[in-house]
Amino acid sequence: VPAVAQGGGTPAGDDVIVLGEVGALTGGQATFGISSRNGIALALKEANAAGGVKGKKLVVRVYDDQSKPEEAAQAVTRLITQDKVVLILGEVASSSSLAMAEKAQAAGVPMITPSSTNPTVTEKGDFIFRVCFIDPFQGFVMAKFARENLKLNKVAVLQDNKSAYSIGLTEVFRQKFAELGGKITVTESYSQGDTDYRAQLTAIKKTQPEGIYVPGYYSEVGVIARQARELGLKVPLMGGDGWDSEKLFELGGSAIDGSYFSNHYSPDNPDELVKKFIADYKADYNGAVPDALAALAYDAARVAIDALKRAPDTSGPALRDAIAQTKNFPGVAGVITLDAKRNAVKSAVVLKVADGKASYVTTIAP
Ligand code: PHE
């Protein structure tokens, strides 16, 4: 796994504070890792321009986990034992964050995942934090939207059985949709990396659902959308934050049009803080509009920097305590107050896919 020093490329020394980052820079979730890296780099650049922290510059060591939980866990071990980082940012995919959290907690090094939503991630221990909402809420959001906005009565589910995120979200959606008076016709499964979903989609079609919930990641969802349409399944697809990637539109083409997913952030937000973030991000990354991953990673890095400033020193326990005290922190993906379980409680947005982009539909509060 190649390590890349960012934020000036300064080597570790007494004049710098070294942070660690683990992300999927290659593999099936590569856009997640790249967007997150960009958001973190922007936050560090701004902090360094404003004088750094405790008179020191911030640098970040980044490891690519190739979208694999085992690699993510190994990267954490390297960050802690070789690079001696004071804090770790990452991952996006909950399965990878779970593998990392185990190591970070055991070593007493604080970890902040910007975007992993499976509830068990922060249950790994008191050194593990997140700046996003969790899936019991996200699953409720789409169940409510499906029942109340789309007025669906019968929905099928297609889950990724290799992803803790997808399995968790499936469970919550099934339960909430039923509680709201809807019926789940069938639940089918695939494994991350599969390319042929026709058998599952054919089984789903037989149950005549009015919609299909597909809480997976964009690499698979784009292909699933195409194959569903090929098989004559015309009903709306619905999903969660794992759909958030430019690649979804490339892979899904017009087959993904008319679908909906829940997410953390919409660049359509007219808030001043959000507008400034989008402008600064575009300036640094060739005009790219930041997605939710970039926004949450930027927020996670800024929460970490804020804690570094407030903590009496950069030891693990001091940083842990400072992060835990994060209150009313103005993030670009919503205001962050960490609760006793080290999670943020925030609203979700629902986006609609049409013509190669996702547009804001509504906000659902917890
Ligand atoms: N919430 C997803 C997970 O836990 C990761 C994700 C977040 C993906 C935001 C895209 C956008 O696995």
Does 94 contact ligand 1 (Cβ within 6 A)? yes
**Hey, what are 126's tokens?**
């008191």
CA-nearest residue for atom 4, ligand 1, is 116
Write the CA distances from 289 to 38, 236, 245, 278, 295, integer angstroms: 11, 26, 11, 6, 10
Q: How confident is the model at residue 12 (pLDDT cuts 50, 70, 90)?
A: low
CA-nearest residue for atom 9, ligand 1, is 241
- Asked if 96 and 242 touch (Cβ cutoff 8 Å), the reply is no
CA-nearest residue for atom 12, ligand 1, is 93
**φ and ψ at residue 305, rounded to 5 degrees:** -65, -40
Can you say how many angstroms the Cα of residue 54 is from the centroid of all Cα atoms in its chain? Answer: 30
Q: How far apart are CA 260 and CA 355, in angstroms?
A: 13
Tell me: pLDDT of 36 over 70: yes
Q: How far apart are CA 23 and CA 71, in angstroms?
A: 10
Q: Can you tell me the mean pLDDT for 1-28?
A: 74
Distance 216 CA to ligand 1 centre (A): 9
Tell me: pLDDT of 11 over 90: no
353: enclosing H helix or E strand: strand 348-354
Q: How many CA atoms lie within 13 A of 347 on its CB side?
A: 13
Tell me: pLDDT of 113 over 70: yes
Q: 234 CB contacts (<8 Å, ≥6 apart)?
A: none
Q: What is the pTM of this model?
A: 0.95
- Asked if 175 and 204 touch (Cβ cutoff 8 Å), the reply is no
Distance 200 CA to ligand 1 centre (A): 24
∠ Cα 86 278 254 (to 5°)? 110
Q: How far apart are CA 265 and CA 203, in angstroms?
A: 34
Does 209 contact ligand 1 (Cβ within 6 A)? no
Tell me: pLDDT of 329 over 50: yes
- Asked if 256 and 243 touch (Cβ cutoff 8 Å), the reply is no
Does 93 contact ligand 1 (Cβ within 6 A)? yes
3-state secondary structure of 205: helix
Tell me: pLDDT of 7 over 50: no
Can you tell me which residue has the tokens 């089984």?
Answer: 203
Tell me: pLDDT of 8 over 50: no
Does 219 contact ligand 1 (Cβ within 6 A)? no
Instruction: Encode pLDDT of 172-208 as tens digits.
Output: 999 999 999 999 999 999 999 999 999 999 999 999 9
Q: Can you tell me the mean pLDDT for 61-66?
A: 98
pLDDT at 13: 62
Distance 188 CA to ligand 1 centre (A): 21
163 CA closest ligand 1 atom index: 12
- Asked if 306 and 326 touch (Cβ cutoff 8 Å), the reply is yes
Tell me: pLDDT of 17 over 80: yes
Q: Can you tell me the mean pLDDT for 14-36?
A: 96
Instruction: Encode pLDDT of 245-274 as tens digits.
Output: 999 999 999 999 999 999 999 999 899 999
Does 113 contact ligand 1 (Cβ within 6 A)? no
Q: Can you tell me the mean pLDDT for 55-60?
A: 96
Q: What is the DSSP string of 267-314?
A: TT---HHHHHHHHHHHHHTTTPPP-HHHHHHHHHHHHHHHHHHHSSSS
Query: Mean pLDDT for the chain?
Result: 96
- Asked if 245 and 32 touch (Cβ cutoff 8 Å), the reply is yes
pLDDT at 10: 47
Instruction: Encode pLDDT of 273-319 as tens digits.
Output: 999 999 999 999 999 999 999 999 999 999 999 999 999 999 999 99
pLDDT at 14: 74
- Asked if 116 and 72 touch (Cβ cutoff 8 Å), the reply is no
Q: How far apart are CA 24 and CA 96, in angstroms?
A: 9
Does 29 contact ligand 1 (Cβ within 6 A)? no
Q: 275 CB contacts (<8 Å, ≥6 apart)?
A: none
- Asked if 366 and 137 touch (Cβ cutoff 8 Å), the reply is yes
